[in-house]
């Protein structure tokens, strides 16, 4: 063990350094021994001398103390002892009587620093590490009169030793230094030849030059070594040449062999590479397969011959709520199939296992998860066949169709509901897809159009159902609709013409809406056969017209009365004037031409009035309903012409405020009829109620191309309960006067339908106000 260590320790150094180190070590070793030896000797000498000195001192002191002891005079003894002060190393000196009692004492030191050894522990000559002491008998005349104990400290000694040690170390250091230097010089004699040889060896081994020889310079062991070295080299040289020859020979053989080996090695490598590749591939595939299995969104499970699970993927585990390790090896049917389906599923399994794959390749059955939840799974099944042809397992991929089934059910129910609704609908419900083809045709559609569902589904809707003249327009609109789902008719209810199966055209009301189905615009239409309605409308219209005529006739009756009224005055005036003339003639008064002219003028005037009234009447009753440009002013004047004097006669003040100057394109007589009607009503009411200061105010305003005619009276207003009734046909408050009840109704009809305006009424403070609005430019 130690040898190893030594070897390792020195091995690292070159021989030169080794030698130097050895000599250093040896020198230091020697010096150290000397040093230690010297120190020890020194110490011994010091000890001896110290003891001797102390002993002598003890003797002297003892001698000098005999008298003190003999005569029991401690004081004088102490005086004697005090002489010891001269010796600084002495700590204590105690005199004891022959009985062993302390007699006198000297101490030179703090007791704690160097304690006094008690009497019991005193040895005659005592050299401890911290003190030296002597203990002797004091003899007087051959007898012991007392004892003396001196204790001295070793401070001085240690001091000396310390200095000594320092000096020694210094000496050691210098000695080593010197040793080093000398050995440096001297080691050469040993190392130089060795190094030389080593260098030579280096060259020999590097250059393989065995012809070199080392010089022999000394006759000691190195010289022997050199000789041996040279001898060795010669031998090597000889052998070398021999070897070379053999080598050449061998080389050839070896090369041959090497080639062979290399070739076979290459082949092996290739094979190995191929095999490892194959293995890698297989592993990769396996890993991939597992990965595919695991990333598959479907549950994959393999069930072995023994009906236990041999393989599962992650999805299957999640579906069933198990960990892979918990399911592998368990009997599939016992654990995961509900009781009621177990036999059926097992049956399918057995069929599969016997190779009848087609029979059971698709199967929907329930599985039970570990939580007890039941899920409906659609399994696609196949079998795994081993290399030996045996069927080893059934492989199934399953999709959880629980939700889907529920959704399908819901859809079915919804469709049924839909069907029930649409079947019972009175209107035809059609659906048109993005290509214009009919995709839905309910029962009512069948009834209305005459086509059965079978006949129309898939047919183009417009071509089939629209009259020929409209098909083009529909197709145009459809083009736009196809892209945008928008159209003029979309989202609205419109009236169109349609064709029945038998070719008859009939009016329909169509409510059209657009829906987005599968990313495309489809249309849903609800169609109502409005032939009946149209007929009724026409009838109604005819009735209205009849009513209009009737009212006109009634109004005419009124008007005739009014005309009669109007005529009365002029006729009266004319009669009077004529009577005057006749009287003048009878009285043979002078009939001047002026008088005659004046008479003629007045008569003319009155005739004109009569004429105007007739004209107005005629105009009013004109059958043609032609429109012309006329201002309100014109119409009002005409109206006044007819009704003016009637109002006067009834003391009704008629005020007209007309600020409108625009002309409208209207049927003057229609408007006149309305005005006459309203004014007539007002007049009648004022008269009936015998209103004092009866007044009718007609205000005409024009704002934003709308003319407003307000006819207000102070007849007290329309009773609340009659507000809406008065607009209704055949409602009258003037039964006593043979009112037809049609006036206001007709007026409103005229205003709204012919003049495209509005007629409303309301109560003001003192009476009712009837307001007509007309657009100057009706749309």
Pick between residue 61 and residue 430 the one whose CB is nearest to other proteins: 61
Least spacing, CB of residue 98 vs other proteins, in Å: 12
Pick between residue 138 and residue 233 the one whose CB is nearest to other proteins: 138
Pick between residue 78 and residue 399 the one whose CB is nearest to other proteins: 78
Tokens of 709: 């005619």
Q: What share of the chain is helix, strand, coil (3-state, %, to 5)?
A: 55, 20, 20
Stretch of 68-76, 333-341, 615-623, 713-721 contacting other proteins, by CB under 8 A:
68-76
Stretch of 73-81, 100-108, 241-249, 319-327 contacting other proteins, by CB under 8 A:
73-81
Least spacing, CB of residue 101 vs other proteins, in Å: 15
Pick between residue 138 and residue 345 the one whose CB is nearest to other proteins: 138
Listing DSSP states for 300-358 in one string gives: EEEEETTSBEEEE-HHHHHHHT--HHHHTTSBHHHHHS-HHHHHHHHHHHHHHHTT-TG
Taking CB under 8 A as the criterion, the residue among 23, 27, 57, 68 binding other proteins is 68
Least spacing, CB of residue 69 vs other proteins, in Å: 9
CA 297 to chain centre: 23
Question: What's the alpha-carbon Rg for the chain, to the nearest Å?
Answer: 75
Rounded distance between C-alpha atoms, residue 715 and residue 692, angstroms: 9
Stretch of 74-82, 495-503, 563-571, 698-706 contacting other proteins, by CB under 8 A:
74-82
97 binds other proteins (CB under 8 A): no
Rounded distance between C-alpha atoms, residue 202 and residue 207, angstroms: 8
Q: What is the dihedral of CA 671, 673, 679, 683, to 10 degrees?
A: 180
Stretch of 70-78, 266-274, 315-323, 588-596 contacting other proteins, by CB under 8 A:
70-78
CA angle 678, 683, 689 (to 5 degrees): 125
The size of the interface with other proteins (CB under 8 A), counted in residues, is: 13
Stretch of 65-73, 277-285, 289-297, 339-347 contacting other proteins, by CB under 8 A:
65-73
Helix pair 74-81, 15-70: axis angle to 10 deg:
150
Taking CB under 8 A as the criterion, the residue among 3, 5, 11, 75 binding other proteins is 75
Least spacing, CB of residue 94 vs other proteins, in Å: 19
Pick between residue 76 and residue 366 the one whose CB is nearest to other proteins: 76
Identify the DSSP state of 528.
E
Least spacing, CB of residue 150 vs other proteins, in Å: 19
Rounded distance between C-alpha atoms, residue 440 and residue 775, angstroms: 46
Least spacing, CB of residue 103 vs other proteins, in Å: 13
Pick between residue 66 and residue 307 the one whose CB is nearest to other proteins: 66
83 binds other proteins (CB under 8 A): no
55 binds other proteins (CB under 8 A): no
SS (H, E, C) 425-473: CCCEEEEECCCCEEEEECHHHHHHHCCCHHHHCCCEHHHHHCCHHHHHH
| Binding map of other proteins across residues 458-487, x = CB under 8 A, - = no contact | ------------------------------
Pick between residue 139 and residue 490 the one whose CB is nearest to other proteins: 139
70 binds other proteins (CB under 8 A): yes
99 binds other proteins (CB under 8 A): no
CA distances from 150 to 62, 100, 388, 776 (A): 10, 15, 116, 158
Least spacing, CB of residue 125 vs other proteins, in Å: 26
Tokens of 747: 């007026």
Listing DSSP states for 604-660 in one string gives: HHHHHHHHHHHHHHHHHH-S----EEEEHHHHHHHHHHHHHHHHHHTT-EEEEEE--
Pick between residue 79 and residue 155 the one whose CB is nearest to other proteins: 79
Pick between residue 75 and residue 690 the one whose CB is nearest to other proteins: 75
The burial class, CB within 10 Å (0-12 / 13-18 / 19+), for 714 is buried
Pick between residue 77 and residue 428 the one whose CB is nearest to other proteins: 77
- Element holding 89 (H helix, E strand): none
Least spacing, CB of residue 136 vs other proteins, in Å: 18
Rounded distance between C-alpha atoms, residue 293 and residue 316, angstroms: 10
Q: Which of 593, 688, 680, 676 is nearest to 635 (CA)?
A: 676
Stretch of 66-74, 168-176, 475-483, 663-671 contacting other proteins, by CB under 8 A:
66-74
Least spacing, CB of residue 60 vs other proteins, in Å: 12
Tokens of 735: 């039964």
CA angle 340, 360, 344 (to 5 degrees): 15
79 binds other proteins (CB under 8 A): yes
76 binds other proteins (CB under 8 A): yes
Taking CB under 8 A as the criterion, the residue among 12, 72, 297, 389 binding other proteins is 72
64 binds other proteins (CB under 8 A): yes
Taking CB under 8 A as the criterion, the residue among 42, 73, 455, 544 binding other proteins is 73
Rounded distance between C-alpha atoms, residue 603 and residue 616, angstroms: 20
Say whether 698 sits in a helix, a strand or coil: strand
| Binding map of other proteins across residues 228-257, x = CB under 8 A, - = no contact | ------------------------------
Least spacing, CB of residue 148 vs other proteins, in Å: 15
Largest CA distance in the chain: 234
Q: Which of 398, 387, 386 is nearest to 304 (CA)?
A: 386
Taking CB under 8 A as the criterion, the residue among 17, 28, 39, 66 binding other proteins is 66
Pick between residue 79 and residue 634 the one whose CB is nearest to other proteins: 79
Least spacing, CB of residue 113 vs other proteins, in Å: 32
Rounded distance between C-alpha atoms, residue 456 and residue 766, angstroms: 67
Taking CB under 8 A as the criterion, the residue among 67, 201, 391, 471 binding other proteins is 67
Pick between residue 143 and residue 520 the one whose CB is nearest to other proteins: 143
Rounded distance between C-alpha atoms, residue 113 and residue 775, angstroms: 140
Pick between residue 61 and residue 377 the one whose CB is nearest to other proteins: 61
Pick between residue 145 and residue 448 the one whose CB is nearest to other proteins: 145
- Kindly identify the residues of this chain, within the stretch 134-173, that bind other proteins according to CB under 8 A: 140-141
Least spacing, CB of residue 67 vs other proteins, in Å: 4
Rounded distance between C-alpha atoms, residue 65 and residue 471, angstroms: 167
Contact 185, 179 (CB under 8 A): no
Please list, residue by residue across 363-389, b when 16 or more beta carbons sit within 10 angstroms of its beta carbon and e when fewer do: bebebbeeeeeebbbbbebebeeeeee
Pick between residue 67 and residue 225 the one whose CB is nearest to other proteins: 67
Listing DSSP states for 380-425 in one string gives: EEEEEE-TTS-EEEEEEEEEE-HHHHHHHHHHHHHHHHHHHHHHH-
Pick between residue 19 and residue 77 the one whose CB is nearest to other proteins: 77
Pick between residue 65 and residue 396 the one whose CB is nearest to other proteins: 65
Pick between residue 67 and residue 216 the one whose CB is nearest to other proteins: 67
Least spacing, CB of residue 154 vs other proteins, in Å: 32
766 binds other proteins (CB under 8 A): no
Least spacing, CB of residue 140 vs other proteins, in Å: 6
Stretch of 71-79, 390-398, 512-520, 753-761 contacting other proteins, by CB under 8 A:
71-79
Rounded distance between C-alpha atoms, residue 763 and residue 761, angstroms: 7
Chain residues in the site for other proteins (CB under 8 A): 64, 66-68, 70-73, 75-76, 79, 140-141
């Amino acid at each position: 063990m130690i040898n190893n260590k030594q070897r390792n320790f020195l091995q690292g150094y070159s021989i030169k350094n080794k030698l130097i180190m050895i000599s250093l070590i040896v020198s230091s070793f020697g010096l150290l021994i000397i040093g230690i030896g010297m120190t020890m000797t020194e110490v011994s000498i010091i000890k001896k001398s110290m003891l001797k000195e102390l002993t002598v001192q003890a003797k002297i002191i003892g001698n000098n103390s005999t008298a003190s002891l003999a005569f029991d005079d401690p004081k004088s003894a102490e005086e004697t002892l005090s002489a010891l002060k001269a010796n600084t190393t002495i700590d204590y000196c105690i005199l004891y009587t022959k009985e062993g009692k302390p007699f006198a004492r000297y101490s030179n030191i703090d007791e704690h620093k160097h304690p006094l050894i008690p009497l019991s522990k005193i040895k005659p000559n005592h050299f401890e590490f911290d003190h030296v002491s002597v203990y002797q008998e004091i003899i007087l005349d051959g007898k012991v009169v007392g004892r003396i104990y001196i204790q001295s400290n070793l401070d001085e000694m240690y001091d000396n030793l310390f200095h000594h040690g320092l000096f020694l170390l210094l000496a050691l250091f210098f000695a080593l230094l010197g040793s080093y230097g000398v050995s440096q010089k001297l080691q050469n004699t040993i190392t130089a030849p060795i190094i030389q040889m080593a260098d030579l060896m280096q060259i020999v081994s590097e250059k393989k030059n065995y012809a070199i020889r080392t010089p022999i310079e000394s006759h000691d062991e190195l010289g022997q070594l050199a000789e041996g070295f040279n001898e060795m080299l010669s031998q090597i040289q000889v052998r070398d040449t021999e070897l070379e020859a053999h080598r050449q020979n061998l080389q050839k053989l070896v090369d041959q062999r090497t080639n062979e080996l290399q070739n076979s090695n290459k082949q092996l490598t290739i094979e190995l590479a191929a095999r490892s590749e194959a293995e890698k591939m297989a592993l990769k595939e396996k890993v991939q397969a597992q990965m595919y299995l695991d990333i598959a969104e479907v549950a994959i499970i393999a069930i072995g011959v023994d009906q236990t699970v041999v393989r599962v993927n992650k999805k299957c585990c999640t579906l069933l709520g198990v960990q892979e390790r918990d399911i592998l090896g368990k009997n599939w049917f016992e654990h995961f199939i509900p009781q009621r389906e177990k036999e059926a599923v097992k049956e399918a399994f057995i069929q599969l296992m016997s190779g009848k794959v087609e029979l059971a390749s698709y199967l929907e059955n329930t599985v039970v998860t570990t939580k007890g939840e039941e899920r409906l799974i659609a399994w696609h099944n196949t079998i795994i066949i081993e290399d030996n042809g045996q069927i080893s397992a059934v492989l199934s991929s399953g999709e959880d169709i629980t939700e889907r089934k529920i959704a399908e059910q819901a859809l079915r129910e919804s469709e049924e509901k839909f069907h029930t609704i649409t079947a019972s609908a009175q209107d035809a419900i059609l659906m048109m897809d993005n290509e214009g083809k009919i995709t839905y045709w309910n029962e009512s559609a069948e009834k209305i159009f005459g086509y059965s569902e079978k006949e129309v589904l898939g047919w183009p809707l417009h071509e089939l159902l629209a009259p020929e003249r409209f098909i083009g327009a529909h197709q145009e609109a459809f083009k736009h609709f196809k892209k945008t789902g928008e159209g003029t008719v979309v989202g609205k209810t419109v009236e169109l013409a349609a064709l029945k199966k038998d070719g008859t055209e009939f009016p329909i009301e169509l409510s059209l809406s657009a829906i987005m189905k599968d990313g495309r615009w489809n249309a849903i239409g609800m169609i109502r056969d409005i032939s009946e309605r149209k007929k009724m409308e026409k009838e109604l219209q005819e009735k209205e017209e009849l009513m209009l005529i009737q009212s006109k006739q009634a109004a005419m009756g009124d008007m005739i009365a009014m005309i009669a009224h109007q005529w009365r005055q002029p006729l009266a005036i004319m009669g009077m004037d004529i009577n005057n003339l006749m009287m003048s003639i009878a009285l043979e008064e002078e009939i001047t031409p002026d008088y005659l002219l004046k008479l003629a003028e007045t008569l003319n005037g009155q005739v004109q009035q009569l004429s105007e009234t007739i004209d107005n009447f005629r105009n009013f009753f004109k059958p043609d309903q032609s429109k012309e440009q006329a201002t309100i002013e014109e119409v009002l004047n005409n109206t006044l012409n007819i009704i003016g004097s009637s109002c006067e006669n009834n003391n009704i003040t008629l005020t007209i405020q007309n600020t409108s100057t625009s002309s409208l394109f209207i049927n003057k007589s229609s408007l006149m009829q309305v005005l006459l009607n309203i004014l007539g009503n007002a007049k009648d009411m004022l008269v009936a109620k015998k209103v004092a200061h009866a007044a009718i105010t007609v205000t005409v305003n024009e704002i934003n191309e709308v003319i407003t005619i307000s006819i207000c009276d102070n007849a007290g207003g329309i009773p609340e309960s009659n507000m809406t009734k008065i607009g209704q046909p055949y409602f009258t408050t003037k039964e006593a006067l043979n009112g037809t009840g049609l006036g206001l109704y007709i007026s409103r009809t005229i205003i709204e339908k012919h003049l495209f305006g509005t007629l409303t009424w309301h109560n003001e403070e003192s009476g009712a106000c009837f307001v007509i609005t007309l657009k100057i430019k009706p749309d």
